[in-house]
């Protein structure tokens, strides 16, 4: 069994995989990390290997706790990948994007795949039909846009995302919702269309915390998979066992 740990910008997500099948999943705050790790190993003592992807939340002490129970691989830009990395600055490529590119390659090894991760940031990552990661884009996520409107102005309120009835807002709140939700939707559809124009038979995977919220708003054919990054980490761990 494999233990998969994704320490993102907001939450820590963990999964247990038996080969390619996820048999357990949970997410929690950093303060609960040690408690949850002990509970997972109590429930699944057959875990032999783990992988940690962290954008900065976990410190060395937290990671050392996991290594008490199993062999641990820390994902870095030196980690072996099954795809060819053609990013101009691979040393600056976030480990979350490495995991998503791996998931894209494992899911569709001989096809063109664009992964859109709608989380704290919205990232776009492209793996072509030569098995080559060629890059993508990074833009502010939904909550970041709401937060920026509130913090960078004197009077605009801080709102949480919600469905919009019409793209024309008739109040301050509905205008903010339209600007954020309609703006993200227009961005998403526009960027996907750019990739469709360049790459034949493009597969688009939408993942991340806002994947389901956005999936019903896209006009393109996409596959929503909120756990795509975790699947990529599991694939990466299996590849590095060899």
Q: At what angle do helices 142-151 and 183-198 cross, to 10 degrees?
A: 140
Q: Which of 196, 218, 236 is CA-nearest to residue 73?
A: 236
Rounded to a whole number, what is the largest CA-CA distance in the chain?
59
Active site residue 129: no
From the list 6, 62, 96, 125, the catalytic residue is 96
DSSP 201: T
Tokens describing residue 222: 């996409």
Contacts of 96 (CB under 8 A, 6+ apart): 6, 8, 53, 55, 117, 123, 229
CA–CA dist 236, 106 (Å, integer)? 9
List, by residue number, the catalytic residues.
96
């Amino acid at each position: 069994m494999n233990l998969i740990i994704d320490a993102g910008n907001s939450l820590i997500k963990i999964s247990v995989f038996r080969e390619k099948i996820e048999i357990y999943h949970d997410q929690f705050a950093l303060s609960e990390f040690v408690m949850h790790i002990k509970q997972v190993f109590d429930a699944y003592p057959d875990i032999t290997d783990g992988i940690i992807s962290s954008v900065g939340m976990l410190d060395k002490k937290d990671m050392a706790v996991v290594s008490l129970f199993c062999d641990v691989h820390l994902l870095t830009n030196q980690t072996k990948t099954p795809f060819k990395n053609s990013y101009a600055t691979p040393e600056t490529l976030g480990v979350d994007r490495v995991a998503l590119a791996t998931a894209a390659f494992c899911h569709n090894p001989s096809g063109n795949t664009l992964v859109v991760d709608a989380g704290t940031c919205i990232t776009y990552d492209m793996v072509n039909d030569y098995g080559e990661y060629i890059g993508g884009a990074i833009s502010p996520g939904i909550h970041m846009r709401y937060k920026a409107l509130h913090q960078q102005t004197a009077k605009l309120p801080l709102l949480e995302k919600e469905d919009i009835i019409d793209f024309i807002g008739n109040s301050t709140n509905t205008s903010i919702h339209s600007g954020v939700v309609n703006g993200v939707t227009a961005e998403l559809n526009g960027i996907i269309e750019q990739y469709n124009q360049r790459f034949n038979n493009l597969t688009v995977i939408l993942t991340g915390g806002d994947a389901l919220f956005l999936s019903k708003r896209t006009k393109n054919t996409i596959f929503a998979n909120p756990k795509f990054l975790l699947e990529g980490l599991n694939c990466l761990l299996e590849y590095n066992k060899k």
